[in-house]
A and B are shown apart, each in its own frame.
Chain A
Amino acid sequence: MKQTDFADMPASVIAARVAAGSLDPVQAVAASFAMSREKKSGRDGLNLVLWSDEKLATADASVLKETMGPRGEGGSLAGVPVAVKDNIATLGLPTTCASRILAGYVSPFEATAVTRLRAAGAIVVAKTNMDEFAMGSSTENSAYGPARNPHDLRRVTGGSSGGSAGAVAAGIVPIALGSETGGSVRQPASFCGIVGVKPTYGRVSRYGLVAFASSLDHIGVMARNVDDAALAMQAIAGLDPRDSTSADVPVAPYCEEFVSIATTPSPLEGLTVGVPAEYFPEMLDPGIRALCDRALDALRSLGAKIRKVALPHTSLAIPVYYIIAPAEASSNLARFDGVRYGRRESGTASLREMFGDTRSEGFGPEVTRRILLGTYVLSAGYYDAYYRKAQSVRTLIAGDFARVFAGGVDVLFTPTTPSTAFSIGQITDPYEMYMSDIFTATANLAGVPAMSIPIGRESGLPVGGQLIAGHFAEAAMFRVAYALEAALGGQAHQ
């Protein structure tokens, strides 16, 4: 199998060939590692992959080959090499959240999403770089240095799932798992020119996802096309008794509906796409605005009705997010105390000092900033003014979406990000960095599904368009995404 073939090959094709016996999963894994070497995905190159073990992955592929038989049913992702963000627990490879405090930590158990990918036949080939504990929008806040955008090595991949986005964009894997707390799958997907999906809160188990902000955390998927993204989502979605917040809602067969879309002249007939004015502010990059208009035209020509809608509390999303997320993070990251696992500062005089030094040395500046911020907003006397207030505003933001979807809108269309990938080191002001998630954090706060798909290029850099649907309406979202992707065709990458 040629590397170049592999780099463009969709996961669905790999799985079909493996199932048909025309592709050896061991070869697919070898092609992925060859691609990884060619693209210099490691520390000295793109810095997308933190941990990988070719022997282990090859062994997994061999086991798959043996257990599936000559023309066996290897699963929907049979032999598909996948990458997993480094904050999702995997057996056999470290899970460090790109943090010094978890250097060398290997989880004794695996995330449900990873177990389900493996059950579908996928082979885990890499753990990917990320902003430390998923706190960041550029993958610059990694203890292992910034990831580089395969489209322009001087630019960021976006973040925090930058390593996963870059690995998919670079052709190292067709599918990767990322995680989102405030846009961390969609924003890097947009920056890297791929598809990134954040499902409904509760759609995919969080068991094994190292918690950042539990009420906002989601596992998402990243792929080069909508079909593969839906295929991967299909594999990992559904109730998990280990996660009390996972939902007992049936998972629709997302990909089956794609067949009818391809054969229907106006596949989105009867569907209403809402366009919220708040996501198209004056300051929006004109190039991005133009690409959004082109995408809306495409949706119209597919038969969709386009309707202007209002999501009036949108501007409050970032302030609310930066109260709730750090508050939960300050508690979730308390377990990294040096007592049971991970890094421990030795030679300290007291227990308090051990805690303090371990955490001061182990956490990077952005993580430290958010822990302090979160500790502050939960403090006695401040709780009502910050956390409680933020939670009530959060319900207003969720209410905006609920009202729009109850009013006959099927999906919303917006730009994914206000800009294209910025240069590494360009943004130093944390607040400016936070504004990078202005269009994406709302869906995390409301728990609604959202995804980014490529809609074109601006000055050579990928631009993403965002689709947002109502709770558990992933099927509708995927249908629109698939139709739009097909309609834009080659334009999406121009």
Chain B
Amino acid sequence: MSTDKYEMVVGLEVHVQLKTRSKAFCGCSTDFGAAPNVNTCPVCLGLPGALPVVNEQAVMLAARAAISLGCTVHPTSVFARKNYFYPDLPKGYQITQFDEPLATGGTVMIDTGAGERTIGITRVHMEEDAGKSVHDRFPGETAIDLNRAGVPLIEIVSEPDMRTAREAGAYLRTLRQILQYLGVSDVSMEQGSLRVDANVSARLKGEEALGTKTEVKNMNSFSAVERALEFEFTRQCGLLERGETVVQHTLLWDASKNEARVSRTKEGSNDYRYFPEPDLGPLVLDPDWLSMIKLSLPELPDKRRARFASDFSLDAEDVDKLTADSELAEYFEAVARATGDGKAAANWVMGEVQALLNAGKGTFDELSVRPADLAQLISMIRDGLVSHAAAKRIFSLMAESGKPAAQVAHEHGLLQVGDDAALAGWISEVMTEHPEESRRYIGGERKLQGVLVGFVMKKSAGKADPKRVNQLLVARAEADAGPG
């Protein structure tokens, strides 16, 4: 079946766990991976008589995020209770924000390669997470882990502005990048610190009115979101083609089967009976405090991309790669500033450094090769002290030992030899060992120069300065060719 007649309309609800040390309304730790129910207290257990107190750090991070997404942060917003019964919801309600959210009306610029598009942000509001129902720990029973209960979240709701699964993916990647730059969240879908619910509908191209939407949940990666959207869009188009109607369901994505199935829980029938949380006054933000947050915002991806391109004369592809992650970008910039060679810094960071990270050798903070060490290595190459090949070896030794480049090069005898006497000795040995090639080279077959340089490099175990070897070979050939 062709879906060509139809257009996909997507809006995304993204839940982001804020990177605070303590929970949204109590002092319990937010550490991931603690033993069940260890990070709990009367407040997040919902014990009778306990009361919530707003975590200011969470409000600060939420405000940072909202401002950076171009939202208007409201001087007064209101916490509300969302009432429903569930075993992992200790109070029988979730503290969230409803009709007076923290922030509204922002935008995110996305680029799918087909030009930039603006995606509207409807609202950003604060809320607390629920606990976790554990079904596989005790056979036939469900256990409750409330470590996560009360962990601070923001929900970022987009306008239904995306028209393809690819745009949805681009939006999510851009959003993740912004939040990562801000340091407000770990933004890891794997650890659940970023969760995506998608609202999707289909309509005939050219149609203004929105079709009936369904909500798709349970995607565990951005690519899963894209696949789920394609799947659901195709399903809806099929229904419309057959003259059937789309029913407003919630569907759960099954990554193993690559399909979304209608959820058995009747979400639509819930009446959450929202009302203002009487245990917390309105959240009133001081305008001066908000201005301070605005001033303290870090450079965001768009700005950094532009700056890298102009400061370091890099092409767009390199800039994108280097700014994908704020820590990578900061690492690169430190190396580039220290060496004054943006291109070399870019190559090293995208090559060896990225490889090290990919190999699971730790995070940026844990990398034993600090930007200053890498800058020293790059300078050594430029100054002819080490060959490029030797430099790669030095880098991996630096990563293992944590020692500076010069020390590693010295200890492992990897410093380049530029001394003419030593080089001439190796050249003579090579010429003796390879008389045929030497004769032809001296005889004028200059294209063999590279081969001979290679032999010298091999003989010197990579330490010979290839530039000088070339020069010496040329000199030798000219001398031997002589006047006769």
Contacts and interface: CB of A to CB of B under 8 A. Distances in A.
Interface of B is mostly: loop
A245 B281 contact: yes
Contacts of B48: 89, 95, 97, 102, 105, 107, 210-211, 335-336
Interface string B29-53: 0000000000000100111111111
A411 to B, nearest CB: 27
B91 A334 contact: yes
Interface in A236-250: 241-245
Given A340-B90, A380-B271, A245 B279 contact: yes
Nearest to B92: A334
Nearest to A214: B278
Interface stretch (B80-88, B106-114, B171-179): B80-88
In the complex, which of the residues B47, B52, B83 has the most CB atoms of chain A within 10 Å of its own CB atom?
A: B47
A333 B279 CA distance: 14
A331 B51 contact: no
A72 B53 CA distance: 37
A242 B41 CA distance: 13
Interface string A371-400: 000010011100100010000000000000
Contacts of B273: 330-331, 375, 378-380, 383
Interface string A44-57: 00000000000000
Interface string A299-343: 000000000000000000000000000011011011111011100
Interface string A102-135: 1001011101000000000000000000000000
A207 B49 contact: yes
Contacts of A108: 42, 47
A209 B42 CA distance: 13
A148 interface: no
Nearest to A391: B276
Given A340-B90, A378-B83, A107 B49 contact: yes
A351 interface: yes
B280 interface: yes
Nearest to A351: B87
A172 to B, nearest CB: 24
Contacts of A102: 48
A208 interface: yes
- Prevailing SS type, chain A contact patch: loop
A88 B49 CA distance: 7
Contacts of B92: 331, 333-335, 337
Interface string B274-307: 1100111100000000000000000000000000
B144 interface: yes
B281 to A, nearest CB: 6
Given A244-B53, A331-B92, A379 B47 contact: no
B279 A244 contact: yes
Given A214-B278, A340-B90, A331 B81 contact: yes
B85 A337 contact: yes
A214 B279 contact: yes
B93 interface: yes
B304 to A, nearest CB: 39
B54 interface: yes
A242 B49 contact: no
A422 interface: no
Given A378-B273, A378-B275, A379-B271, A95 B49 contact: yes
Contacts of B281: 244-245
A243 B46 contact: no
B47 A109 contact: yes
Interface in B248-283: 271, 273-275, 278-281
A207 B41 CA distance: 14
Interface in B408-454: none
Residue from the set B45, B93, B279 with the largest chain A CB neighbour count within 10 Å: B279
Most interface-central of A95, A111, A206, A339 (chain B CB within 10 A): A339
Interface string B53-70: 110000000000000000
Nearest to A327: B275
Contact of B51 (A107, A244, A378, A387): A244
A89 B49 contact: yes
A355 B42 contact: no
B265 to A, nearest CB: 12
A215 interface: yes
Contact of A207 (B50, B90, B275): B50
Given A244-B51, A244-B280, A334-B92, A383 B87 contact: no
B53 A331 contact: no
B144 A243 contact: no
B91 A335 contact: yes
B457 to A, nearest CB: 71
A112 to B, nearest CB: 10
B194 to A, nearest CB: 28
B77 to A, nearest CB: 15
Nearest to B85: A355
Given A331-B273, A335-B90, A378-B273, A242 B53 contact: yes
A102 B87 CA distance: 18
A375 B272 CA distance: 10
A207 B50 CA distance: 6
Contacts of B54: 244
Given A109-B42, A334-B92, A339-B144, A383 B53 contact: no
Contacts of B279: 211, 214, 244-245
Interface string A227-257: 0000000000000011111000000000000
Contacts of A339: 87, 90, 144
A375 B85 CA distance: 13
Contact of B83 (A95, A105, A334): A334
A210 B271 contact: no
B359 to A, nearest CB: 45
A209 B48 CA distance: 8
Interface in A69-105: 88-89, 95, 97, 102, 105
A331 B93 contact: yes
Interface in A188-244: 206-211, 213-215, 241-244
Contacts of B49: 88-89, 95, 107, 109, 111, 207-211
A383 B281 CA distance: 20
Given A214-B279, A375-B273, A378-B83, A109 B90 contact: no
Contacts of A351: 87
Contacts of B51: 206-207, 242-244
B275 A331 contact: yes
A325 B23 CA distance: 29
Contact of B52 (A95, A244, A337): A244
A213 B54 CA distance: 20
Contact of A331 (B45, B50, B52, B83): B83
Nearest to A241: B53
A206 B49 CA distance: 8
Contacts of B81: 331
B39 to A, nearest CB: 15
Nearest to B88: A339
A467 to B, nearest CB: 26
A335 B46 contact: yes
Contacts of A208: 49-50
Contacts of B85: 334, 337, 355
Contacts of A207: 49-51
B24 to A, nearest CB: 12
Interface of A: 88-89, 95, 97, 102, 105, 107-109, 111, 206-211, 213-215, 241-245, 327-328, 330-331, 333-337, 339-341, 351, 355, 375, 378-380, 383, 387
Ranked nearest first, the 5 interchain pairs of A and B with the lowest CB-CB distance are A334-B92, A214-B278, A378-B273, A215-B278, A210-B48
9 contacts: A89-B48, A243-B51, A328-B275, A330-B273, A333-B92, A335-B46, A337-B85, A378-B83, A378-B274
Given A89-B48, A330-B83, A334-B85, 11 more contacts: A107-B42, A107-B48, A109-B49, A207-B51, A213-B278, A242-B51, A244-B54, A328-B275, A335-B48, A341-B47, A378-B275
